Amino acid sequence: MKTPYYLIDEKKLLKNLKRINYVRKNSGAKVVLALKCFSTWSVFPLMRKYMDGTTSSSLYETRLGYEKFGKEVHAYSAAFSKDDIKEIKKYANKIIFNSGTQLNLFYKYVSGMNIGIRVNPKISYSHFDLADPARKYSRLGEADKKSILRIMPMISGVMFHFNCENDDFKNFSSALDFIGKNYGDLLKKLEWISLGGGIYFTKDSYPLEKFCKKLKEFGKKFGVQVYLEPGEAVITQTTELVTTVLDIVHNELDIAIVDTSTEAHMLDLLIYRTPAKTVFVENKNCPERSEGSQALSGTEILPPYQVRGQNDCNSKFKYMIAGHSCLAGDVFGTYRFKNRLKIGDTIKISDAAGYTMVKKNWFNGVRMPSIVVKRLNGKLDIVRSFDYNDFKNNLS
25: CB partners within 8 A, 6+ apart: none
Angle at 229 between CA 227 and CA 233, to 5 degrees: 125
d(CA 79, CA 38): 21
What pLDDT was estimated at residue 283? 62
The pLDDT tens digits of the residues spanning 46-87 come to 999 999 999 999 999 999 999 999 999 999 999 999 999 999
The pLDDT tens digits of the residues spanning 239-255 come to 999 999 999 999 999 99
Alpha-carbon Rg for the chain in angstroms: 22
Q: How far is CA 340 from the centre of its chain?
A: 34
The pLDDT tens digits of the residues spanning 184-219 come to 999 999 999 999 999 999 999 999 999 999 999 999
Which residues lie across from 303 on neighbouring strands? none
CATH architecture of the region 10-235: Alpha-Beta Barrel (3.20)
What's the predicted TM-score (pTM) here?
0.91
**Where on the phi/psi map is residue 158: left (φ > 0), alpha (ψ -120 to 50), or beta?**
beta
CATH architecture of the region 239-352: Beta Barrel (2.40)
Give domain limits for the chain.
10-235, 239-352
175: CB partners within 8 A, 6+ apart: 121, 123, 125, 162, 163
Angle at 215 between CA 213 and CA 216, to 5 degrees: 65
Angle at 260 between CA 38 and CA 273, to 5 degrees: 65
DSSP string, 106-175: HHHHHTTSEEEEEB--S--B-S-GGG-TTSTT--SSB--HHHHHHHGGG-SEEE---BSSB--HHHHHHH
Where is 216: in which H helix or E strand? helix 208-222
